[in-house]
Structure 1
């Protein structure tokens, strides 16, 4: 700033130099705020990506469990149908046999 004062034109008054110094100081203060905002934005972006990844994983697990439950249900249904068919065969066989004493 001392070099600037030596080379400053005489038509520039002290108020102008003081305002310039104030603006330079403000720009120095704004830079850390911008950096902090960028850091917070990056953290938020990372959190969003992690949440989206977790959401995708949970949806995949839910769909997998749903498919497994459907397969178990189909297996039980087939087993029940088999038992019912066997019962019909036994009942039909018992009814066709003449009971003699």
Structure 2
């Protein structure tokens, strides 16, 4: 049995920048590959779609990260209001003082 969830390939983990040396090595490799040669540039529509997919995946990862700290339960459906007994209610009397009788 595989460890990955079915249909979980739609979200990739966020890209890590890496160390300074790794970033510079990637930059130099890209410049060596593209300088002085013809290469196909992606269209505006493809670029927008790629960026929107990355933003959505990043948003889902951030939401899951935040939710992992405080999972909360929310009641659904109609609920009765909470009842406070007469003994614990505070009534405001004349001149703004609290009376408890």
> TM-score, normalised on structure 2?
0.28
Higher helix share: 1
Greater relative CO, 1 or 2 (CA 8 Å, sep 6+): 2
Larger radius of gyration: 1
